[in-house]
Structure 1
Amino acid sequence: MKAPVILVLGRSGLLARALADRGGGDIVTAGRPDFDITQPGASERLLDQLRPAAVINAAAYTAVDRAESEPELAFALNRDAAAALARACARAGLPLIHVSTDSVFDGAQDRAYRESDTPRPINVYGASKRAGECAVLDALPSALVVRTSWIFGASGDSFVSRLLGWAEGRDRLTIVGDQYGRPTYAPALAEGLLTLARRLLDGAASSGLMHLAGESVLSRAEQARIILEAAGRRGRAATTVIPVPSSLRPTPARRPLNAVLDCSLALRQGLALGPFRNDLEPTLDGLLGSAASGAQSGA
């Protein structure tokens, strides 16, 4: 019996690539330049053409700082296009998983954020993603909105790849030490989303909100130290990480200091993602080569 086809929107993104890799022949991806989710009627036409069994929406405007000067574009993709997709799925009777973010919270809380906590975004990106969550669930109450955090992997842009670039040729690097979150390995997240999509198809998954992110809780500076230590084992020159407060590294968009998601609901459903150190190894293998080959080349 042929496996059901799951449509993934957001073809070129880090998560969409991981979903395509993990899902193999069960996955069809759609994205620019062939498909523009922001165009009127685009979602209906795509669903009519492909007739998938379920949809995972990994398409998003994710340029957090640029969103401050491009709010219309951020809301067009993260709210309006997501709502149009949800309406199209509702008409077609299709299960939908919509991927969201920890940035819907303000970061002022002194514990991890639960699904039941009230979102209070502090930047345009977070506001557009929160508006998208509401629009999706309004249009399709049976949808599942999955919030995640700090996605990284070997096949696209992430904090890991950017940090390696920043550290090149430098013996010291200042990184904010008061922003905390759960780094999430894209392939592991993809596996979890595919499991949820199949459960939705079987009627075995609930709708609403779920937090799904990596096991480790780290500050950005702690994450940077771990990355650069592992890069050193691959022949990269040592770079010392100097933690600094966010107030000394202002950015156009404010970031929540506490972006830690409580993933207890996912854990109770058997969805446990791994620790950062373990998931970093295959990421750096892809970006820099293995630790063994790095040590040999540096000998």
Structure 2
Amino acid sequence: MQEQKKILVFGADGQLGTAIMQLSTHFPAYDITGKTIEDLDLTNFEAVEQTLATEKPHLIINCAAYTAVDNAETDKKTCFEINVYAIENIAKICKKQNIFLVHISSDYVFEGKNYKPYLESDSVKPIGVYAQSKLLGEQAILSVKPKSIIIRTSWLYSFTGKNFVKTMLKLGKERNELSVVFDQIGSPTYAPDLAKAILNIAGKLNKQKAEIYHFSNEGVTSWYDFAKEIIMLSGRDCKILPIETKDFPTPATRPHFSVLNKKKIKNEFEIEIPHWKDSLILCLEKLKET
């Protein structure tokens, strides 16, 4: 019997980390364990090094991140500690201990002025503290060069955690109408779809250097149309009104267009990606169960 590949998930209680842990029983070839921020301080180099030396994983999936985009504008120190310095620590230890690293990044590394889906090779230009931190995290990995892949994703949501879908459902219950921006365009990503893709990819990894890939669900939408679909499918009696970004000011600037081109990850790893509308239906069904 072939030895199980040992996988360690950082950020195991976040949306993506939770999805990976919940899928673990469907992947018997892997021995998957998880660490939360309470279990392990990723900014503590010695603690991380000791944990990995003890656990001896073949692969780390790093889902841990500071994701409070607006708060980051006034809390740069914490944001950079988690999204940059901790990532550099992990990359260095992975290289030293010969552990493969899968790191999750963001569509926010792009400025958002494109009119066609972003390729992995397109120029990056982050436009906020959170966005800068995600790019610097990527660059730390590319500089250290552990065996690794970086997966940029966008508009992540799930039936767990805090996210746009759950916010719309809550507000749709409390209010008669909601105003949602129509001029920010992207692709939602259902966390279980990304989790499944990562675990499928994990068995095919043989990269000797850091490589970047893009993943989101198929299809393109705006936050306005995404909200309309959520409310329609949930049967809520709430009117969704379109507004421009300038009418809904936030501390952090968002990209106006952050659709990711997924051809590379689909072709190299032979994975199929569901359409965002189909995955949204699955998410809403799961939320009904809970």
Is TM (by shorter chain) over 0.5? Answer: yes
Query: Which position in structure 1 is the counterpart of 2:273?
Result: 273
1:239-290: CA deviation from partner (whole Å, max 9, x where unpaired): 1111111000010100000011111111212223211121112211222349
Secondary structure of the structure 2 residue equivalent to 1:138: helix
Which amino acid in the other structure matches residue 167 of structure 1?
G
| Structure 2 CA distance for aligned equivalents of residues 63 and 169 of structure 1 | 24
> Which residue among 35, 38, 42 is the counterpart of 2:40?
35
> Which residue among 214, 217, 231 is the counterpart of 1:214?
217
Say if 2:255 is the partner of 1:250.
no
Query: Which position in structure 2 is the counterpart of 1:7?
Result: 8
Secondary structure of the structure 2 residue equivalent to 1:267: helix
Distance apart, 1:139 and its partner CA: 1.1
CA change 1:195–1:204 in 2 (3 A) is farther
| Structure 1 CA distance for aligned equivalents of residues 176 and 138 of structure 2 | 42
Query: Which position in structure 1 is the counterpart of 2:148?
Result: 143
TM-score, normalised via structure 2 length: 0.94
Distance apart, 1:133 and its partner CA: 0.1
Query: Which position in structure 2 is the counterpart of 1:68?
Result: 73
| Structure 2 CA distance for aligned equivalents of residues 140 and 82 of structure 1 | 12
Query: Which position in structure 2 is the counterpart of 1:110?
Result: 115
Secondary structure of the structure 2 residue equivalent to 1:118: coil
Query: Which position in structure 1 is the counterpart of 2:204?
Result: 199
Which amino acid in the other structure matches residue 265 of structure 2?
A
| Structure 2 CA distance for aligned equivalents of residues 21 and 268 of structure 1 | 26
Query: Which position in structure 2 is the counterpart of 1:93?
Result: 98
Of all paired residues, the percent bearing the same amino acid is 34
> Which residue among 155, 169, 181 is the counterpart of 2:186?
181
| Structure 2 CA distance for aligned equivalents of residues 40 and 205 of structure 1 | 23
| Structure 2 CA distance for aligned equivalents of residues 83 and 136 of structure 1 | 6
**Is residue 148–residue 213 contact of structure 1 (8 Å, CA) maintained in 2?**
yes
| Structure 2 CA distance for aligned equivalents of residues 49 and 29 of structure 1 | 14
Secondary structure of the structure 2 residue equivalent to 1:168: helix
Distance apart, 1:141 and its partner CA: 4.7
Secondary structure of the structure 1 residue equivalent to 2:174: coil
Say if 2:224 is the partner of 1:225.
no
1:53-110: CA deviation from partner (whole Å, max 9, x where unpaired): 1111110000000000001111111010001001000000111111000000110111
| Structure 2 CA distance for aligned equivalents of residues 86 and 27 of structure 1 | 20
| Structure 2 CA distance for aligned equivalents of residues 230 and 267 of structure 1 | 29
| Structure 1 CA distance for aligned equivalents of residues 141 and 186 of structure 2 | 25
| Structure 2 CA distance for aligned equivalents of residues 285 and 142 of structure 1 | 38
List structure 1 runs of 4+ shifted beyond 4 angstroms: none
Task: Give the total of aligned pairs.
Answer: 284
| Structure 2 CA distance for aligned equivalents of residues 205 and 153 of structure 1 | 32
C-alpha RMSD of the superposition: 1.6
Question: What 5-or-longer segments of structure 2 have no aligned partner?
Answer: none
Secondary structure of the structure 2 residue equivalent to 1:26: strand
| Structure 2 CA distance for aligned equivalents of residues 143 and 129 of structure 1 | 16
1:30-55: CA deviation from partner (whole Å, max 9, x where unpaired): 12212111123222111011111111
| Structure 2 CA distance for aligned equivalents of residues 182 and 74 of structure 1 | 24
CA change 1:204–1:116 in 2 (3 A) is closer
**Is residue 115–residue 257 contact of structure 2 (8 Å, CA) maintained in 1?**
yes
Query: Which position in structure 2 is the counterpart of 1:19?
Result: 20
Question: What 5-or-longer segments of structure 1 have no aligned partner?
Answer: 291-299
